[in-house]
Each structure stands twice: as structure tokens, then as C-alpha cells.
């Protein structure tokens, strides 16, 4: 974007069309990307975007009509009417604009909207769909797979789902109201503490999608992003199998190298974080497969070598106000060893 603006220095703008082209270009950049509703990747999202286009078209027609009427009022000649004629015209406007127009437009919207809403409902299917539970916390995502063969699988800040089949998302909030929204897959749904809301979404094909908390939930609301990836069914099953508590615990047992890091973890971190086979804290994200994730802090920084240590040292500056205490009381070398060990947690 910065590039476009630089190119638009005054000497270079020759035709009056250039600013317009720039504006349209900038607007259209909003249409691409992994969080664009205009780039649907599932049937529910296609229905939603269809309604969006219809409403945009309808809104544009109304805007043009109103503008034409408005311009007309400047042009038309003064006419004198009797009070009876005035009343008749006023009545026409009230009936036409106040009753007929809304009835017609709302009926049209319902005709489009009801089937779309229906598609997002978790209605009974002959074969029960996969269920994934998503829990919103300030400011991270807990994701649970209750139906995994061999026992429930838990992860955080990433959501892996099977492609090409409907998936029911059961969502709730742990502290305040959040909202679950994967724009390319369909409508959003509130995550309300004490209540489980359900939405059915389907991804046509394997792909990576962005997701975002869509209900203001406090200071770091914008930094509450979720990595969503749809994969083939067998890849999904393998992904779940590798995250069984037993599997992960066996990996930890064979790891002599990081003994002291694990001890430091038990002292400083275990009360808030779960690492399968080691601890069961629930106040912070599950870290059992942290090394295999793409980002840290719910999309705050990319996962790369040394990123975990960086996060442990600077998380207060990176994500001000987040609910993890500062680790100033822990030696830098210990934090680094914790970072090195957590990086190896890749099932
Ligand atoms: C009081 C609870 C608490 C303690 C103690 C705690 N954390 Fe956290 N931790 C959190 C919370 C809450 C978050 C989520 C912050 C956010 O993204 O908003 C978090 C985030 C993290 C993350 C990023 C996880 C992700 O999914 O991106 C890592 C890594 C982490 N903590 C490691 C540690 C380590 C190592 C220790 C011990 C030195 C520790 N934490 C101690 C609560 C805690
Ligand atoms: Cu939010």
C-alpha cells in the first residue's frame, strides 16, 4: 500500500483518473486475503456473500433513486396545490415508501436469508458430523476435539479441521463475550460465557484460513487471531492421533536433554499451562504441541527459531495487558532453556 502512495507524488499524477484508480485499487485490496468474505471457500460462505452482493446492488439502486429525486427538487417548478392534493401525495409516499417498499425488501431478504441461516444450523444429519469445541479467552483460543479416537485432544490458537465435510463448532466464552469468525467459511457466532452456541461450517478444499475474534473483548481484542487449516480427512486423523496424551507423554519421557527446563516449567508455568503428560494448568494456552504451530500469542508473532524465548522475555511489550505475568523474576538463561525445550514440542 505504501508503494502505491509513494508513486502518487504530485508531479507523477497527470490524469485526473489516477486518484480514482488509486482509490478503487485500495478498496479492492480489501477483497483478497485469508480473511475476506468476498473470497468464500465453502457453501455457507458463498450464500452469505450472495446476500451481500444483492444488498449492495439494492442499496446502490436506492441511493441513485434518492439522489435523482433530490436533484429533481432543485429543478422542478413551483406548483400550487390544494390541501386535499397535498394530503393525497403525502399518503402515497407513506404507503409506498413506508409500507410497500419495506415489505417487498424484507420479503426478498428473507427469501435469501432463511435458507442461508438454515445451512449454518447444526440440524441432524444421517452421519453425525465432526464436533470441534472452541473456547474464547482474553486473548487466546482454546480448541478441543472431544470426538478424537483414543480420547479428547486439546490445542490452542490453531484449529485444524477436515476439508470436504460439515463440521459443527460448539463455541463458548471463558471470561467475557467473544465471537468466532472464519470469514471465508461463513457467518460468525458469539461465544457467550455459560452458554454453548453451535454453527456448522464446511471447507470445500484443504486450505489455510484466517480467523478473528469478532466481538470487542478488551485491550488485545484485535490481537486475538486464530490460524485455521482444513486438511484431508486422513491427514486430520493422523494429526489428532499424534496429539493423544499418551503419544506426547512418551515423547517427553525419551527427552533427557531438557530435564532442567521441564523442572523450571513445573515451578513457574505448570499452574497455568498444560503440557500433555506433564501438567494440567488451564489459565493459559495448552502448550503440548507448541513447536508445531505457526505463531505465538494468538497471531502476535511468527513462530521461528528463538521466537518462543523472545516471547517469554518481551510478551508484555508485544501484547500489553495480556494475562501472563512478566517473567522478570526468572533468569534469562532459564527462559532461554524453556524456549528451547518448548520449541521441541512438535508431535
Ligand atoms: C498466571 C498464568 C500464567 C503463568 C504462570 C504463565 N503463563 Fe504463559 N500464558 C498465560 C496466558 C493467559 C497466555 C496467553 C496470552 C495471550 O496471548 O493473550 C500465555 C501465553 C504463553 C505462551 C504463548 C502460547 C501461544 O499459544 O501462543 C507461551 C509460550 C507461554 N505462555 C509460556 C509460559 C512459560 C514458559 C511460563 C513459565 C515461565 C508461563 N507461560 C507462565 C498464562 C500464564
Ligand atoms: Cu475479541
Identify the domain containing residue 163 by its residue range: 130-242
Together in a domain, 215 and 279: no
- Name the residues around ion ligand 2, CB cutoff 5 A: 178, 213, 217, 221, 224
What pLDDT sits at residue 219? 92
Of 192, 226, 242, the position where a domain reaches its end is 242
15: exposed, middle or buried (Cβ count in 10 Å: 0-12, 13-18, 19+): exposed
* 152 has a pLDDT exceeding 70: yes
- If asked whether residues 148 and 220 sit together in one domain, one would say yes
What is the rounded CA–CA span in Å between residue 294 and residue 33? 17
Closest CA to 333 of 261, 255, 259: 261
Residue 29 lies in a domain: no
What pLDDT, in 10s, does the model give residues 9-30?
A: 444 444 556 666 666 666 666 5
pLDDT of residue 311: 94
Nearest ligand to the CA of 321 is 1
* Domain membership flag for residue 23: no
* Substitution candidate for ligand 1 out of 324, 331, 342, 346 with most atoms within 8 A of CB: 324
- Same domain for 277 and 214, yes or no, is no
* 136 and 110 share one domain: no
Q: Looking up cell 427538487, which residue turns up?
A: 73
Mean pLDDT of 198-219: 95
Q: Are residues 206 and 255 both part of a single domain?
A: no
Give the integer Cα–Cα distance in Å for 69 and 329: 70
| 100 shares its domain with 182 | no
139 shares a domain with 79: no
Residue 85 exposed, middle or buried by CB count within 10 Å (0-12, 13-18, 19+):
exposed
Could you give the number of structural domains in the chain? 3
Q: Which of 232, 230, 248 is nearest to 153 (CA)?
A: 248
pLDDT the model gives residue 2: 42
Q: Would the pLDDT of 252 be above 80? A: no
Whether 146 and 131 have beta carbons less than 8 Å apart is answered as yes
Handedness of CA 276, 279, 283, 288 (dihedral sign): negative
Cis preceding linkage at 91, omega within 30:
no
The answer to whether residue 8 sits within a structural domain is no
For residues 338 and 257, membership in a common domain is answered with yes
Q: Which of 169-183, 189-203, 250-264, 280-294 has the lowest mean pLDDT?
A: 250-264
- Is the domain of 75 the same as that of 156? no
Q: For residues 174 and 133, what is the distance between their CA atoms, to the nearest angstrom?
A: 12
| Residue 15, pLDDT score | 53
Q: What angle do CA 221, 184, 120 make, to 5 degrees?
A: 95
Pocket flag, ligand 1, residue 341 (CB < 6 Å)? no
- What is the pTM (predicted TM-score) of this model? 0.84
Note the ligand closest to the C-alpha atom of 157.
Answer: 1
More confident residue, 21 or 193: 193
Average pLDDT score, the chain: 88
Our answer on whether the CB atom of 283 is closer than 6 Å to any ligand 1 atom is yes
Task: Tell whether 4 is covered by a domain.
Answer: no
User: Is 60 exceeded by the pLDDT of residue 4?
Assistant: no
- Confirm or reject: Cβ of 319 under 6 Å from ligand 1: yes
pLDDT of residue 246 exceeding 90: no
Spacing, Cα 153 to ligand 1 middle (Å)? 19
Residue that wins the pLDDT comparison between 9 and 102: 102
Shared domain for 228 and 139, answered yes or no, is yes
Tell me which of 285, 299, 313, 317 to substitute to probe ligand 1's pocket, judged by most ligand atoms within 8 Å of the beta carbon. Answer: 285
Q: How confident is the model at residue 5 (pLDDT cuts 50, 70, 90)?
A: very low
Provide the grid cell at 162: 477436515
**Helix axes 332-343 and 307-318, enclosed angle (nearest 10):** 120
| Alpha carbon distance 300, 156 (integer Å) | 14
Segment 287-307, tens digit of pLDDT: 999 999 999 999 999 999 999
Domain shared by 251 and 233, yes or no: no
Distance from Cα 137 to the centre of ligand 2, integer Å: 9
| Lookup: cell for 48 | 452469505
3-state SS, the chain, equals CHHHHHHCCHHHCCCCHHHHHHHHHHHHHCCCCCCCCCCCCCHHHHHHHHHHHHHHHHHHHHHHHHHHHHHHHHHCCCCCCCHHHHHHHHHHHHHHHHHHHHHHHHHHHHHHHHHHHHHHCCCCCCCCCEEEEEEEECCEEEEEECCCCCCCEEEECEEEEECCCCEEEEEEECCCCEEECCCCCCCCEEECCCCCEEEEECCCCCEEEEEECCCCCCCCHHHCEEEEEEECHHHHHHHHHHCCHHHHHHHHHCCCCCHHHHHHHHHHCCCCCEECCCEECCCCCCCCCHHHCCEECCCCEECCCCHHHHHHHHHHHHCCCCCCCCCCCCCHHHHHHHHHHHHCCCC
Centre of ligand 1 from the C-alpha of residue 133, in Å? 21
Does residue 195 sit within a domain? yes
Looking at the CA of residue 138, tell me the nearest atom of ligand 1.
18
Question: Is 10 contained in some domain?
Answer: no
Last residue of some domain: 120, 153, 183? Answer: 120
Tens digits of residue pLDDT in 298-347: 999 999 999 999 999 999 999 999 999 999 899 999 999 999 999 999 88
Kindly report the CATH number assigned to the domain that includes residue 189. Answer: 2.60.40.420
Q: Which atom of ligand 1 is nearest to the CA of 269?
A: 37
Among protein residues, the one with the nearest Cα to ligand 1's atom 11 is 284
- Out of 120, 153, 169, a domain closes at 120
Q: Which atom of ligand 1 is nearest to the CA of 323?
A: 12
Q: Does 156 fall in a domain?
A: yes
219 and 272 assigned to the same domain = no
Amino acid at each position: 500500500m505504501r508503494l502505491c502512495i509513494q508513486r502518487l507524488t504530485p508531479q507523477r499524477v497527470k490524469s485526473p483518473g489516477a486518484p480514482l484508480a488509486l482509490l478503487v485499487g485500495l478498496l479492492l485490496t480489501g477483497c483478497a486475503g485469508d480473511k475476506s468474505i468476498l473470497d468464500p471457500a465453502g457453501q455457507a460462505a458463498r450464500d452469505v456473500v450472495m446476500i451481500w452482493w444483492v444488498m449492495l446492488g439494492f442499496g446502490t439502486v436506492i441511493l441513485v433513486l434518492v439522489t435523482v429525486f433530490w436533484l429533481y427538487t432543485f429543478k422542478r417548478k413551483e406548483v400550487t396545490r390544494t390541501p386535499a392534493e397535498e394530503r393525497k401525495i403525502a399518503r402515497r409516499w407513506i404507503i409506498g415508501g413506508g409500507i410497500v417498499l419495506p415489505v417487498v425488501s424484507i420479503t426478498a431478504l428473507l427469501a435469501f436469508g432463511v435458507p442461508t441461516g438454515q445451512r449454518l444450523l447444526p440440524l441432524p444429519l444421517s452421519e453425525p458430523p465432526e464436533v470441534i469445541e472452541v473456547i474464547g479467552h482474553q486473548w487466546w483460543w482454546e480448541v478441543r476435539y472431544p470426538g478424537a479416537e483414543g480420547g479428547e485432544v486439546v490445542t490452542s490458537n490453531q484449529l485444524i479441521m477436515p476439508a470436504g465435510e460439515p463440521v459443527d463448532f460448539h463455541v463458548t466464552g471463558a471470561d467475557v463475550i467473544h465471537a468466532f469468525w472464519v470469514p471465508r467459511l461463513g457467518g460468525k457466532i458469539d461465544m457467550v460465557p455459560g452458554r454453548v452456541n453451535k454453527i456448522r461450517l464446511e471447507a470445500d478444499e484443504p486450505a489455510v484460513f484466517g480467523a478473528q475474534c469478532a466481538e470487542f473483548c478488551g485491550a488485545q481484542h484485535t490481537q486475538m487471531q486464530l490460524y485455521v487449516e482444513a486438511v484431508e480427512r486422513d491427514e486430520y486423523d493422523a494429526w489428532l492421533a499424534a496429539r493423544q496424551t499418551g503419544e506426547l507423554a512418551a515423547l517427553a519421557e525419551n527427552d533427557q536433554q531438557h530435564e532442567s527446563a521441564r523442572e523450571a516449567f513445573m515451578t513457574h508455568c505448570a499452574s497455568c499451562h498444560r503440557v500433555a503428560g506433564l501438567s494440567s494448568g488451564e489459565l493459559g494456552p495448552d502448550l503440548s504441541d507448541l513447536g508445531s504451530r505457526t505463531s505465538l500469542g494468538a497471531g502476535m508473532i511468527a513462530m521461528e527459531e528463538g521466537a518462543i524465548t523472545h516471547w517469554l522475555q518481551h510478551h508484555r511489550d508485544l501484547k500489553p495487558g495480556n494475562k501472563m505475568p512478566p517473567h522478570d523474576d526468572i533468569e534469562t538463561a532459564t527462559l532461554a532453556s524453556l524456549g528451547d525445550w518448548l520449541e521441541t514440542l512438535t508431535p
